[in-house]
Amino acid sequence: MSELTVELSGSYREQGRQHGEALAAIIEEVADETLAKRDLDTEQTRCVTGLLEENFQRLAPGTLEEMRGISEGSGVPYEKLFAYNCCAAIFAADDYCSAVGWADTPDGPIIGKTNDIGQNKAKYHHPFRRRSGDGLAAVWATWPGTVWSNCFVNEAGLAYGGASLNMHARNEAGIDMNCLLRVLTDRCTSIDEMLDLSDRVPIMHSPQHNIMCDERGKQIAVEHTPEGCHVCQGPGEPFVRGTNHFCPGPFEERDTSAPEMLQNSRDRFANLGRLSESLSHNVDNMLRVVQDHSEAGQICQHGNAEMWSSTAYVAIASQRCILIGRGQPCEAEFFELSL
């Protein structure tokens, strides 16, 4: 699968052009599918888009430049590409994904993550590598045409995997949460730096339940919300986990997801706890977790609460690599993306 990896270098604008040129056909296809039921021509959408552009220019101008480069390289109009990248902030996001971190493996901290966006959507998960240029050297995987990061490990050994949350809250001074993940990839070398930057670069909408670890062995689960961040698990715990509901703390009971979704999320959260307590903590067993078909709270989902797992990742911070299984995790052939 190494032929899938898009290599990036140079300025943010140049990285965007390289990305756009390499994946032009699939970018337009996925952007069209993502925006198919969204009305971009409303006063509210135009207002939110304008605010987001101003916020990116102030808080993350390189990310904005990269989006412009992707537009230039792919031929997808900038306004459409920007709306695609910021769809979670403009329109709100669906709830999906599971993530778990183990701090005490023979290889140091590792993170396992599934993406649960639907059947036959392996094309939505593409590997990228940057060894030089703007931003820290890193490997990550994300949707073609976006400046997101579904899972990453950077040169400093900071790694991430996460899951979506839902609450009624907006911060008009923020940027898109998915885009913030790339800002963290590009700038942060430790958990402490990540938390500090997250406090200074707010998100507009669509909170997330994120698992972060660094090579120093620090590992946390943090709830990123428009109202600020809350470390809900860790550091100092052998495992942390995140699904699609808030943990006890300041945002507890703020969930606005459907009851069926919340129950599915709680079942997966409990199962991640059982698996983490019963399995030896190593890479092979983390692969078992993301492929899990337990009767209650299965992690590799097959239509549970209308969710299907479409890709899985295992990030190994010390080795600066991600194991990626594109497609249904229980059937996928995992390949290594290393820095």
Residue 19 has pLDDT above 90, yes or no: yes
Backbone angles phi and psi of 28, in degrees to 5 = -65, -40
Cα torsion through 330, 277, 114, 254, rounded to 10? 140
DSSP state of 23: T
Residue 11 pLDDT grade (very low, low, confident, very high; cuts 50, 70, 90): very high
Can you point out the beta strands (E) in the chain?
A: 6-8, 98-105, 108-115, 126-130, 138-142, 151-154, 159-164, 208-213, 219-225, 228-233, 239-242, 302-304, 307-308, 311-316, 321-326, 335-338
Mean predicted confidence (pLDDT) in 150-178: 95
Tokens 């790694």 sit on residue: 159
Return the closest-CA partner of residue 193 out of 168, 214, 172, 177. Answer: 214
Q: Which two tokens stand for residue 144?
A: 């073609």
Close Cβ partners of 36 (under 8 Å, ≥ 6 residues apart): none
Cα 12 to chain centroid, rounded = 20
Question: What residues contact 154, with CB distance under 8 A and at least 6 apart?
Answer: 136, 137, 138, 185, 186, 188, 189, 320, 339
From-to residues of CATH 3.60.60.10 in the chain: 93-338
pLDDT tens per residue, range 213-267: 998 899 999 999 999 999 999 999 999 999 999 999 999 989 998 999 999 999 9
Residue 173 sits at φ, ψ, to 5 deg, of -95, 5
**274 vs 298: CA distance, rounded Å:** 11
Question: CA 33 to CA 37: how far, in whole Å?
Answer: 8
Model confidence pLDDT, tens digit, residues 55-78: 999 999 999 999 999 999 999 999
- Mean pLDDT value of segment 309-313: 96
The 3-class secondary structure across 87-137, one letter per residue, is: HHHHHCCCCCCEEEEEEEECCEEEEEEEECECCCCHHHCEEEEECCCCCCC
Residues of the chain with pLDDT > 70, as a percent, come to 99
Give the Cα separation of 134 and 21 in Å (integer).
18
Express as a percent the part of the chain with pLDDT over 90.
85
Between CA 167 and CA 205 the distance in angstroms is: 8
1 — pLDDT class (breaks 50, 70, 90): low
Q: What is the pLDDT of residues 174-210, one digit of tens each?
A: 999 999 999 999 999 999 999 999 999 999 988 999 9
What CATH fold (topology level) applies to the domain 93-338?
Penicillin V Acylase; Chain A (3.60.60)
Note whether 14 and 65 are within 8 A (CB).
no
